[in-house]
Amino acid sequence: MRDEWIYKSGVGSSSCSCGLKKDGVPDLALIHFSKPAVWTACFTKNRCAGAPVIHAKSLLKRNGRASFLLINSGNANAATGRKGLDDIDFLTKNIGNLSGVDPNEIIVSSTGVIGEPLPKELIADAIPELLQNCSDFDESVARAIMTTDTKSKISRMSFESCGRNFHIWAMAKGAGMIHPHLATMLVFIITDFPLRQSGMHGLLKEVMDYSFNKISVDGDMSTNDSVFLFSIGESRSEISDFDFKNALLRVAKELSQQILEDGEGVHKVVNIFVKNALSVDDAKAAAGRIANSELVKTAIYGEDPNWGRIYAAAGASGAQFDPLSVSIFFDDKPACENGVKSKRYDETAISKIMKNDHFSITIDLGAGTASYNMFTTDLSYEYIKINASYRS
């Protein structure tokens, strides 16, 4: 399915298999903006950031314009030292020489195994083919960026602002090492809404705080995580950023849910809602500790209403509250009230709730009025199996 607006806006794409993956599936994608897009990005907080993150950060400081986006899977180009950056320079100059575009307008993004040198020659050999086939916009690029994902992840949105129609198209990859700030996710968002480069980062960061930074599959954080936002809009007369932000938030939330539901070995997605905390920071701390607790996540997988694990995780979070004020609910069914097993506890009813693919766990700390929620998943045998054989 091709979105006509993105094609008519002069955005092209192509993908191929260049040999980075053993099974011969697509592993390389190229997106071309015929008129340079303004862009911004949010990156992983991991101190051991991969070469593509370091390179993209430097581009953003120097330029903020993008003509090409080259994305590969199968190799993260992380923990590769100075050579990793040199390999990116080699590839951007290669594309620049063939296309006549300034290498400073070429972004490289990578995902895959950490610690292996990037096979730059394999990628370089495929670039002429990618350039030649970049006249159309082909959503197969979303498959080329997958690693342990089982399905491609795309979201699209049309919206109106001040009587004009605008669009957003976005794709993502991510299934494991999913955790706030960010995850082993790559997200690429393209819009024809006209954005000023100076205000893009704050807008993207705000949207991320309510979407990508609220999900956790395994509590881990990778080296290459990036969320990119590209604007190819041309005029700004009386246009409201508020309308765009609402549309972008819907797209980001949809992609977040797609990432969660395709998480490695995931069977269940659970909303962890902490309320009546002393502060938002306390609510975040408690929600994060519960969402990332392996004991809680395995209980979710086993459909075991072991609310004591939730109670213990909240207590270990650093949040300030009176243990005798805590109540815990599975959807609307009480498990714990005032710090002890609820007199209304119905294990059969709660077990039935836990059999659902989606449900919520509410933790009332009884300490204040602040609240925060996160989405987490179960931790299954399949997760271990996938990650035990990831490189083989």
| Chain-centre distance for alpha carbon 334 | 33
Q: Is 249 helix (H, G, I), strand (E, B) or coil?
A: helix
Q: Which residue from 214, 185, 149, 168 is spatially nearest to 53, judged by alpha carbons?
A: 185
| DSSP annotation string for 105-116 | GEEEEEBSBSSS
- pLDDT tens for the chain, 392 residues long, are 567 899 889 999 999 999 999 888 999 999 999 999 999 999 988 889 999 999 999 999 998 999 999 999 999 999 999 999 999 999 999 999 999 999 999 999 999 889 999 999 999 999 999 999 998 998 899 999 998 788 899 999 999 998 889 999 999 997 654 444 444 589 999 999 999 888 899 999 999 989 988 887 655 567 898 999 999 998 766 667 899 999 999 999 999 889 887 766 678 999 999 999 999 999 999 999 999 899 999 999 999 999 999 999 999 999 999 999 999 999 999 999 999 999 999 999 999 999 999 999 999 999 999 999 999 988 877 767 766 665 44
| C-alpha dist (Å) from residue 192 to 9, 11, 258 | 8, 10, 23
Please, are residues 115 and 78 in contact by the beta-carbon 8 Å criterion?
yes
Q: What is the pLDDT of residue 7?
A: 85
Give the predicted TM-score (pTM) of the model. Answer: 0.88
Q: Which residue from 47, 88, 10, 60 is spatially nearest to 229, judged by alpha carbons?
A: 60
Which residues have CB under 8 Å from 182's CB, separation 6+? 42, 43, 44, 45, 208, 212, 213, 221, 225, 226, 227
**Sequence-ordered strand ranges (E) for 83-209:** 106-110, 153-161, 164-173, 186-191
Q: What is the pLDDT of residue 392?
A: 42
Q: What is the pLDDT of residue 388?
A: 67
Residue type at 247?
Answer: A
Enter the tokens of residue 243.
């309308």
Q: Which residue from 100, 154, 99 is spatially nearest to 132, judged by alpha carbons?
A: 99
Q: Which residue from 241, 228, 227, 229 is spatially nearest to 166, judged by alpha carbons?
A: 241
Q: What does the alpha-carbon distance between residue 25 and residue 22 come to, in Å, rounded to a whole number? A: 8
Q: Any idea which residues carry the catalytic annotation?
A: 184
Count of other CB atoms within 10 angstroms of residue 339:
15
Q: Which domains does the chain have, with CATH numbers?
A: 4-261 (3.60.70.12), 269-388 (3.10.20.340)
Enter the tokens of residue 238.
């009386």
| C-alpha dist (Å) from residue 53 to 101, 129, 206, 226, 227 | 21, 26, 20, 7, 11
**What is the β-pairing status of strands 28-43 and 11-16?**
antiparallel
| DSSP annotation string for 324-385 | GG-EEEETTEEEEETTEE-TT--HHHHHHHHTSSEEEEEEE--S-SEEEEEEEE---HHHHH
Q: What is the pLDDT of residue 389?
A: 60
